[in-house]
Amino acid sequence: MSETKPVALVTGASGFLGRHIVPALTRAGWSVRRAVRSADGTNGEALIGSIGPETDWQAALEGVDAVVHLAARVHYKNEEHAVQLYRDVNVEGTLHLARSAATAGVRQFIFISTVLVHGRTNEGRAPFRENDVPTPRGLYGTSKAEAEAGLRTLARDSDMKISVIRPPLIYGRGAKGNFALLTRAVRLGLPLPLAAINNRRNFLSVQNLSSFILHRLGHSEPGSNFEIFLLADRERISTPEFIERLARASGKRARLFAIPPKLLSAVLRVIGRQDVHDGLIGSLELDISKALATGWQPPVFLDEGLRLALSTQDA
């Protein structure tokens, strides 16, 4: 008689991360139940509507061994007017799901947070570590920090093991944000004024994120019910080098020219693109020694991750 597969409920399964993580879970022998707003007839769906403080999770969590919570409110136009939306989804929605999962007897809860709980740059400082005092930036980073605090409190009175993962920019096929902008610029052969940038940044391939999630789901040793992990690829490189290696992976030549970093920073601030400044010019280094100490090793190096990100085939 064959053993029953463990069941994982995945939120955000149709998003960028979910489109990579769901197949990885399936290949590893998990039965995946996708939490969706509206049914499309695909097997393994759990209809839950919108995620928030009133979501009914009872049916979706029945028989579930682990929850992988990917869904979040990430970007919203005029976000200063969307404080309640971020709170409803990223904070109260996350905590309501976690409480429901604990009540349902779920054994493990994986929460994808963000390195933005530390801030957007560690310029002039040591690489970020898990025990640094949070200094979140923006509504998104603040909402994730508040959700983490609530999960820590929940873990004290629960048998459910909670793993919080704080990633930097995640790249992979279908990624949006700065990675999509850089990929488009490289493919179009657009000149980029970043040659003089001398920073150090960590990035994370979606394959390495998937690998670490599976590693945590296989973790059964006794210990704390609440753990935070900074996660990234092993390599730390500058923004110009990242662009050059992205260009190489796409079979193109990077067209970089130099503008003094201080002038470039001033221009970006004047035009209101602090996000581009922080995402491309500043340094963002993570100490991933805690993740490595669990016995996990990143299976994908940067060049392979970029090649997979630009591939049209499933990885």
Reading the block at residue 79, the tokens are 């976000």
162 φ/ψ angles, rounded to the nearest 5 degrees: -115, 125
Q: Is there a catalytic annotation at residue 140?
A: yes
Q: Residue 111's beta-bridge partner residues?
A: 69, 164
The amino acid sitting at 49 is G
Answer for the pair 7, 63: CB distance below 8 angstroms, yes or no: yes
Q: Which residues lie across from 237 on neighbouring strands?
A: 201
Burial (0-12, 13-18, 19+ Cβ within 10 Å), 143: buried
Residues 6 or more apart whose CB falls under 8 angstroms from that of 243 comprise: 182, 186, 192, 194, 254, 256
Locus of tokens 């994370």 = 204
Q: Report d(CA 73, CA 147) in Å as an integer.
A: 12
Q: Helix 16-27 and helix 206-217: axis angle, to 10°?
A: 50
Nearest to 202 by CA among 237, 175, 176: 237
Which is the catalytic residue, given 76, 86, 140, 171? 140
Q: Which helix (H) or strand (E) holds 170?
A: strand 170-171
> Smallest Cα–Cα separation from 71: which of 116, 32, 118, 36?
36
Number of other residues whose CB lies within 10 A of the CB of residue 109: 26
Residues annotated as part of the active site: 140
